[in-house]
Amino acid sequence: MTSSPPAPARTALPDHPRGGAATWYDVLDVGPSAHVDELRTAYERSLALVEGRTLGGYFLLDPLAIDGARADIEAAWAVLSDVERRASYDRAIGLPASSLFPTPAPLAPSTASTTTATTAPSTIPARLPQSPSLKFLAPVLDDSTPTTPPTTPPTTPPTTSTLPTTARPSTLAMATSPPAFEAGFFALDGEVNGQVLKKLREARGLSLDELAELTKIRRPYLQAIEDQDLENLPARVYLRGFLTQIARALRVDRVRLAEGYVAFVARFGS
Amino acid sequence: MICQGTGGYTCVMSEKRAARIIAVGGGKGGVGKTLVSTNLAVAMAVRGQRTLLVDADLGGANAHTILGVPPPLATLSDLVERKANLDDVAVNTPFANLRFVSGALDNISAANPKHSAKMRLLRQLGRADGVDVVVLDLGAGTSFNTLDFFLIAHTSILVVLPEPTSVENAYRFLKAAFFRRLAAVEKAYGIADILEAARSQRNELGVHTPADLLAAIEKKNPDVGRQVRAQMSRFEPCLLLNQALPAAAGGTQGEDDGTVARDMASACRRFLGVPARVLGVLPEDEAVRRAVRARKPLAAIAPDAPIKRALDGVADRLLAELGAAEAAA
Ligand SMILES: Nc1ncnc2c1ncn2[C@@H]1O[C@H](COP(=O)(O)OP(=O)(O)O)[C@@H](O)[C@H]1O
Ligand SMILES: [Mg+2]
């Protein structure tokens, strides 16, 4: 699961693809049971394809068509990478409820998280629930999501090897799905560089490893993004998608963060 | 018997059993269309299919050289102009089950024979006595001749190289084929007005790709839209990636070159309104040059070469599909 807040204030997602595709799944060319890792790959490949950055997309689309296709791909990813949005979209198009993504609260083992758990450090369950800043950032959690069962263990043992991995998704989901929080906390007005991203992350009480777990982006990439380490930055085609994920996890304006950082790198790199 | 090509063109067969037509195109010269069609025809013949290889590359007929036969005196033109019948123009080859027809259509007055003439030609080829499979080697470019043969075939193979120029031309070719096909559907369904409306409002409707156009037609008139979509989706070209290198040997962007074909098929499905699929990946192989120099098919020169084995795989897959299609018919 990719934990992205529903964020009602900025939700301007269309109900269906604007282009020729019938469903968001078709936009990414994946099956309706696609796992979130598969979705991420498809999303990144799709962007690279329509932007003509992979050979198979060379001169496929003209500039106007590229814009339209990109918008659909971004929207498809925004809907399908979000457990709740995806579940309600699945219902809307008449797909049977997915066992992968039980709703409303992902209590069952989530394969999405377990397969990528290699990037997750053992400290996550121990630290996350205790993070005071996260509690602060999630003030409305209790009254806004009354149906969410209390999944956070009151006392988390420090040795996490004994913790079932299944505790992770729900823990993270709780910690990061407060619907009320909005981007205003950080205006993101100035330059968006690695330092700014690092400060943002720390203000959210997240370690790099926790951010890696939340975004499903490998830690070395996150490190390179914060360090402005051009050599080791993800390929440009993936960078924007990664930044979008980071913005979602940090709950700041996605476009501003992604475009800001890309622009910064462009200046910084030349 | 009614047979339906992948292009959805209907032709009435008078024989009990119609030959399956396989067209090999690519939009670009030098991508390996002749290599593929010739060696595929040999592979089909070896598999017991009575095969007719037709060199339909009007400008650059050279399949005879790859096959190692003298260029036939009578050509497709004579067939189209009814100066000869099939048995006059189809010459025997050194290979059992394989006959060959030379393509030279250049003495046809207008560069484009009428659609009806082409249909008649295909019909003639398809119902010839003792022909199970017709393999068409098409020319480069997007002339109506080439597009029509590609669209009429039961199986349309598009040969692509992992090179920008080839990918670009392949997309151009597929878009041209799409619109050629759409024009035929438009005529058959009398939906010019709907299409025109969708076209003239392309900006308001956000129509940027062929797939968008299909969606816009459906929005204008769901019934017609569904039928048009069904008709259009009968055109299911197969992508065959040629001269592929493995990732280790300099494949595309550190990936296996096969990903190019998969990406392209996916792009066709999503944006071109064309349900393309990947038929196979053929390796770059020095055996090709040896065979071309010897003016013999791969089977005769390099029976164990990787490219030969890959082409055998393609032939087996196609036969299995054709067999299945026949069983269903
Ligand atoms: N898989 C391959 N490995 C090596 N060379 C190839 C391969 N495919 C094609 N070639 C080379 O490309 C040339 C052009 O192929 P050809 O079949 O004549 O293309 P087309 O008919 O599309 O114009 C061949 O003569 C051959 O030298
Ligand atoms: Mg040729």
How far, CA to CA in Å, does A94 sit from each of A27, A97, A98, A221? 17, 9, 11, 37
- Go through chain A and tell me how many residues it has: 270
pLDDT tens string, chain B, 329 residues long: the values are: 344 444 434 333 333 467 899 999 988 899 999 999 999 999 999 999 999 999 988 777 788 888 888 888 888 777 777 778 888 888 999 999 999 998 765 555 445 667 777 777 777 787 878 899 999 999 888 888 889 889 989 999 999 999 999 999 999 999 999 999 999 898 888 888 888 888 888 778 888 899 989 988 888 889 888 899 889 988 999 999 999 987 666 555 556 788 899 999 999 999 998 999 999 999 999 999 999 999 999 999 999 999 999 999 999 999 998 877 777 76
Listed in sequence order, the DSSP H helices in B201-250 are 202-205, 210-220, 222-232
Task: Compare B260 and A98 and report the one with higher pLDDT.
Answer: B260
What lies within 8 Å, CB to CB, of B173 at 6+ separation is B25, B26, B27, B28, B142, B147, B158
Look at residues A222, A196, A195, A194 and name the one whose alpha carbon lies nearest to residue A208.
A222
Please state the CATH superfamily assignment of the domain spanning residues A1-106+148-184 in this structure: DnaJ domain (1.10.287.110)
What lies within 8 Å, CB to CB, of A104 at 6+ separation is A84, A87, A147, A148
pLDDT score at A122: 34
Please tell me which residue of chain A has the smallest CA distance to B168: A59
H or E element, residue B260:
helix B258-267
Cβ separation A60–B171 shorter than 8 A: yes
Render pLDDT for A246-257 as a digit per residue (tens, 0 to 9). Answer: 888 888 877 788
Q: Distance between CA atoms of A85 and A12, rounded to whole angstroms? A: 12
Look at residues B185, B180, B177, B327 and name the one whose alpha carbon lies nearest to residue B237.
B177
What residues in B contact A59, CB-CB < 8 Å? 164, 167-168, 171-172
In DSSP terms, which residues pair with B278 in a beta bridge?
Answer: B239
Cβ separation A57–B260 shorter than 8 A: no
How far, CA to CA in Å, does A223 sit from each of A226, A233, A243, B160, B167? 5, 9, 12, 40, 36
Look at residues B288, B285, B286 and name the one whose alpha carbon lies nearest to residue B296.
B288
Phi, psi at B35, each rounded to 5°: -55, -50
Q: Average pLDDT of A231-251? A: 79
Neighbour count for residue B47 (Cβ, 10 Å):
16
State the best of B168, B266, B274 to mutate against chain A, taking most chain A CBs within 10 Å: B266
What's the number of CA atoms in the CB half-sphere (13 Å) around residue A123? Answer: 10
B32 Cα–ligand 1 center, Å? 4
A240 within 8 A of A260, measured Cβ to Cβ: no
Q: Which architecture characterizes domain A194-269 according to CATH?
A: Orthogonal Bundle (1.10)
A183 secondary structure, DSSP code: G
Please tell me which residue of chain B has the smallest CA distance to A69: B271
* CB nearest A54 (choices: B163, B253, B269): B253
Q: Is the pLDDT of residue A118 over 50?
A: no
Neighbour count for residue A20 (Cβ, 10 Å):
28
Is the minimum CB–CB distance between B211 and chain A shorter than 8 Å?
yes
Cβ separation A56–B208 shorter than 8 A: no
AA identity, residue B118: K
- Go through chain B and tell me how many residues it has: 329
A54 secondary structure, DSSP code: S
Q: Is the pLDDT of residue A133 over 70?
A: no
Is the minimum CB–CB distance between B261 and chain A shorter than 8 Å?
yes
Please tell me which residue of chain B has the smallest CA distance to A73: B270
Number of A to B CB contacts under 8 A, please give it: 85
Q: What ipTM was predicted for this assembly?
A: 0.80
B169 Cα–ligand 2 center, Å? 15
What lies within 8 Å, CB to CB, of A143 at 6+ separation is none
What residues in B contact A26, CB-CB < 8 Å? 270
Q: A117 in helix, strand or coil?
A: helix
B283 within 8 A of B310, measured Cβ to Cβ: yes
Render pLDDT for A14-63 as a digit per residue (tens, 0 to 9). Answer: 888 887 788 999 999 999 889 989 999 999 999 999 988 888 888 888 88
Neighbour count for residue B13 (Cβ, 10 Å):
14
Cβ separation A20–B262 shorter than 8 A: no
Q: Is the pLDDT of residue A156 over 80?
A: no
B248 Cα–ligand 1 center, Å? 22
What residues in B contact A236, CB-CB < 8 Å? none
- Find the ligand nearest to B55 CA: 2
* CB nearest B260 (choices: A18, A19, A55): A55
Gap from A49 CA to chain B (nearest CA, Å) = 7
What order do you get walking across the sheet with B20-25 strand by strand? B91-92, B98-101, B51-56, B133-138, B20-25, B155-160, B238-244, B277-283
Q: Considering only the C-alpha atoms of chain A, give the largest distance between any 2 of them, rounded to a whole number of Å.
A: 57
Q: From atom 9 of ligand 1, which residue's Cα is the shortest distance away?
A: B32
Give contacts of A 27-66 with B, CB under 8 A. 27, 29, 45, 49-50, 54-62, 64-65
- Residues lining ligand 1, Cβ inside 6 A: B 26, 29-35, 242-243, 282, 284-285, 288-289, 292, 307
What residues in B contact A21, CB-CB < 8 Å? 211, 270
pLDDT score at B109: 46
B36 Cα–ligand 1 center, Å? 9
Task: Compare B208 and A139 and report the one with higher pLDDT.
Answer: B208
A237 within 8 A of A201, measured Cβ to Cβ: no
Pocket test for ligand 1, best of B138, B288, B290, B292 (most atoms within 8 A of CB): B288
State the best of A25, A60, A70 to mutate against chain B, taking most chain B CBs within 10 Å: A60
Q: Which two tokens stand for residue A2?
A: 């990719």
Please tell me which residue of chain A has the smallest CA distance to B260: A56
Cβ separation B209–A65 shorter than 8 A: yes
Q: Which architecture characterizes domain B2-324 according to CATH?
A: 3-Layer(aba) Sandwich (3.40)
pLDDT score at A154: 39
Q: Which atom of ligand 1 is nearest the CA belonging to B62?
A: 18
Is the minimum CB–CB distance between B271 and chain A shorter than 8 Å?
yes
Q: Distance between CA atoms of B212 and A96, rounded to whole angstroms? A: 28
Q: Which two tokens stand for residue A243?
A: 């930044």
pLDDT score at A167: 32
Q: B248 in helix, strand or coil?
A: helix
Q: From atom 5 of ligand 1, which residue's Cα is the shortest distance away?
A: B288
Q: Distance between CA atoms of A179 and A194, rounded to whole angstroms? A: 26
Q: Which two tokens stand for residue A125?
A: 């369950």
Is the minimum CB–CB distance between A93 and chain B shorter than 8 Å?
no
Q: Is the pLDDT of residue A73 over 80?
A: yes
In DSSP terms, which residues pair with A2 in a beta bridge?
Answer: A82
Q: Where do the domains of chain A lie? A: 1-106+148-184, 194-269
Q: Where do the domains of chain B lie? A: 2-324
Q: Distance between CA atoms of B46 and B64, rounded to whole angstroms? A: 18
Listed in sequence order, the DSSP H helices in A81-166 are 83-92, 111-115, 124-127, 132-137, 141-144
